[in-house]
Chain A
Amino acid sequence: MPAVTETREAVEKLGLSSYKWGFETDIDMDVAPKGLNEDIVRLISARKEEPEWMLEWRLAAFRSWLQMKEPEWAKVSHPPIDYQDAHYYAAPKKKPGPKSLEEVDPELLRTYEKLGIPLHEQAMLAGVEVPEGEQARMPVAVDAVFDSVSVVTTFRKTLEEAGVIFCPISEAIKEHPELVKKYLGTVVPVGDNFFSALNSAVFTDGSFVYVPEGVRCPMELSTYFRINSRNTGQFERTLIIVEDRASVSYLEGCTAPMRDENQLHAAVVELVAMEDASIKYSTVQNWYPGDENGRGGIYNFVTKRGACRGARSKISWTQVETGSAITWKYPSCILQGEGSVGEFYSVAVTNNHQQADTGTKMIHIGKNTRSTIIAKTISAGNSDSTYRGLVRVQPKASGARNFTQCDSLLIGDQCGAHTVPYIECRNAQARIEHEATTSKISEDQLFYCRQRGLSEEDSVGLIVNGFCRDVLKELPMEFAVEAQKLLQISLEGSVG
């Protein structure tokens, strides 16, 4: 595979440490005191200059969170989290308001440059020289979220001309309150679960996307999340609304510095697709996974859900999960509209002491709704990985169809892979299929590749990429290349 050469180079560049995104940016921050109480919620709302209704919404969420308990059903274990021992707001010191690149702290721009995130519209639009043999980068609009706030959003003008709104959610609350009020919390209700309630109380930023009727978003939209500050949780909130016959493709990426302590990331993502609308949501999650002894790393407790409200609407989740010490995440689709379609393509890689409990929920409510689940799990080292999925067919969902395929690949003999599918079918005409396999990278495959001249690392990369191909091909081109590299880097040192 062409990516293997690049992968090898990427791996070589990493030198001793295999997490190249682990650096820290030294920048003046405005940080709220540690702890979580109503005053902190008020402080966040005040810092964001939010309207009263938003504050009330947050406070209600906070009060319901106080009544809730952390879920314990996932196959993950960690010491109790002290929710009072973290900062809930951290923002680079910078004047708020409309942002242009000129106003952004150059230190921040350098950070994103190091991460390979294109924030310079100018350079990209002017068609920077493309090295021979490489494809010109498609312009991608980026919303860069640094700790608790969005620092810059690119290509807003171009998008505005097409009628697309793409801005930090904190801004949308002020500029488009009617849209936010109408949709926020309608897909993931405030009290849905412990972490969504927490997020609703203290979320600080995230992206807002609105694509009006009949508009195909002219470029890929992307949000890049970066946790930088120590002892800070990141609670972002994303809301994407796509009206009738409109479509959008949205990507998110995430990294964090290497730290000894665990940091909490509890995001909520809500998607709404109206009639004939389509949303493609891709994630390459690469939070710091902790070191090889399981010290440090991000706790990634995320609630993602999409509502296919209109007939023939479509929501497609694609995720490549390589990072985090613990991943707890089930991007779901509520298939309400007649003939609506939900898809979930997932690759989850765990190495060393990482734990992942991830999967999806497909709720078939409307007639002739269809869903596809392809989940690939790769475990190495001492890690544990679980696929947990629910397919529910409601009584009125005649003609509903689901196909699920869960494949697990084990590397070494100290790791675990588990598949926990739940199927609840209340309609006799529905058709549900489930396939599952578990395999190991065989010595035969490795030896075959090496006999053909590939190094051991490249051989593993090739075999793993082959294993994940059904999922990787769903990613937008550029992300697919990135994801292939990541897979190999994540598994570095897992064989031999």
Chain B
Amino acid sequence: MSQFLDISGLNARIDADGQEKEILRGVDLVIPPGEVHAIMGPNGSGKSTLSYVLAGREDYEVTSGSVSFQGKDLLEMEPEERAAAGLFLAFQSPVELPGVNNANFLRTAVNAVRRARGQEELDAVNFLKTVRAAAKELGMSPDMLKRNVNVGFSGGEKKRNEVLQMTLLQPSFAILDETDSGLDVDALRIVAEGVKRLRSPQFSALVITHHQRLLEYIVPDRIHVMAKGRIIHSGGPELAQQIDREGYTKFLAEAA
């Protein structure tokens, strides 16, 4: 029986200005259903690349390795198929879509995945009810639904908007790429609570972060340290404090 998410020997590179650059160098990672794992690591260790490769961004070329997601070959799927299958990526830098109304975008996205999942589409009235309630829980003003997607949003508003989308799209697996960066303490708590509300035996998550603060709110089942394109160390939730105290030096030395 295959695992919920099983990443094995994953290598990926990007073509940067005509030069092939190896970024992932043999990532092995297993996430069982219902578990929240965190990835920590120095800048440039490949954390964001891993999230992009899992979500299907085409700029990255997978050179070897495999990823199975709920028994399916994830790497064979288009980005929108991965979304329909339950994968959600909360972007580190959410993208602006000028002229595209936020509520309409959300509804289009929700109905696209509902269609693909064989569920009935939500009509405008039901959708608005759901989205307004979800936005309120995240402390977002109703005005943000009327604005254009992420256009003129503050850093904190953008991150809340990501969590709002995640809440509505009901993923079975969410990747949060530094969702805590740029958030003040209050916003961090609200966002963390949004993630916690989703926790269930049917929901797994991979939380990418630099700080242990987020992990105080969302206590992970496992923490992995990533460096130079590989997972070099894994442990329980207590690892966060250790990293906070001692940094990555020790792990880097061990790996070398």
- How far apart are the CA atoms of A465 and B121 in the complex, in Å? 22
The reply to whether A453 and B112 form a contact with Cβ atoms under 8 Å apart is: yes
The reply to whether A450 and B78 form a contact with Cβ atoms under 8 Å apart is: yes
Write out the residue numbers on chain A whose beta carbons fall within 8 Å of the beta carbon of B121: 5
The reply to whether B89 and A462 form a contact with Cβ atoms under 8 Å apart is: no
Q: CB < 8 Å: which of B78, B94, B99, B104 contacts A2?
A: B104
Interface size class of B (residues with CB under 8 A): 35 or more
A467 interface residue, CB < 8 Å from B? yes
A57 interface residue, CB < 8 Å from B? no
21 pairs from A and B in contact (CB 8 Å cutoff):
A1-B101, A2-B108, A5-B121, A445-B97, A447-B55, A447-B58, A447-B95, A448-B94, A448-B95, A451-B56, A451-B82, A451-B89, A452-B105, A453-B109, A453-B110, A456-B80, A458-B108, A462-B105, A462-B108, A469-B99, A469-B100
Which residues from chain B sit less than 8 Å from chain A, CB to CB? 55-59, 78-80, 82-84, 88-89, 91, 94-101, 104-105, 107-113, 116, 121, 123-124, 148, 165, 169
Chain B: minimal CB distance from A470 (Å): 7
Output the nearest chain B residue to A445 by Cβ-Cβ distance.
B95
Interface size class of A (residues with CB under 8 A): 20 to 34
Chain A: minimal CB distance from B126 (Å): 12
Q: Which of B59, B99, B109, B123 has the most CB of A within 10 A?
A: B99
**7 closest residue pairs by CB, A with B:** A466-B99, A466-B100, A469-B99, A452-B109, A453-B113, A453-B112, A450-B79
The reply to whether B112 and A2 form a contact with Cβ atoms under 8 Å apart is: no
- Chain A 445-478, CB-CB to B under 8 Å as 1, else 0, gives 1011111111110100011011111100000000
The reply to whether A454 and B55 form a contact with Cβ atoms under 8 Å apart is: no
The reply to whether A453 and B55 form a contact with Cβ atoms under 8 Å apart is: no
Extra A-B contacts (12), CB below 8 Å, given A1-B100, A2-B108, A465-B100: A1-B108, A2-B124, A442-B95, A444-B95, A445-B96, A447-B58, A448-B91, A451-B79, A451-B88, A452-B83, A462-B108, A467-B99
- How far apart are the CA atoms of A93 and B55 in the complex, in Å? 61
A443 interface residue, CB < 8 Å from B? yes
Q: CB < 8 Å: which of A455, A467, A469 contacts B112?
A: A455
Write out the residue numbers on chain B whose beta carbons fall within 8 Å of the beta carbon of A470: 99
The reply to whether B111 and A5 form a contact with Cβ atoms under 8 Å apart is: yes
Q: CB < 8 Å: which of A133, A445, A452, A467 contacts B165?
A: A452
Write out the residue numbers on chain A whose beta carbons fall within 8 Å of the beta carbon of B55: 447, 451
A interface, over-half SS: helix
Output the nearest chain B residue to A472 by Cβ-Cβ distance.
B99
Write out the residue numbers on chain A whose beta carbons fall within 8 Å of the beta carbon of B165: 452
A335 interface residue, CB < 8 Å from B? no
Chain A: minimal CB distance from B98 (Å): 6
Given contacts A2-B107, A133-B123, A448-B95, contact A453 B169 (CB under 8 A): yes
Write out the residue numbers on chain B whose beta carbons fall within 8 Å of the beta carbon of A133: 123
The reply to whether B108 and A454 form a contact with Cβ atoms under 8 Å apart is: yes
Chain A: minimal CB distance from B154 (Å): 18
Output the nearest chain B residue to A442 by Cβ-Cβ distance.
B95
Write out the residue numbers on chain B whose beta carbons fall within 8 Å of the beta carbon of A272: none
Chain A: minimal CB distance from B228 (Å): 25
- How far apart are the CA atoms of A5 and B105 in the complex, in Å? 12
Write out the residue numbers on chain A whose beta carbons fall within 8 Å of the beta carbon of B96: 445
Write out the residue numbers on chain B whose beta carbons fall within 8 Å of the beta carbon of A454: 80, 108-109, 112
- How far apart are the CA atoms of A274 and B99 in the complex, in Å? 35
8 Å CB contacts to B: which residues of A412-469? 442-445, 447-456, 458, 462-463, 465-469
Output the nearest chain B residue to A2 by Cβ-Cβ distance.
B104
The reply to whether A443 and B109 form a contact with Cβ atoms under 8 Å apart is: no
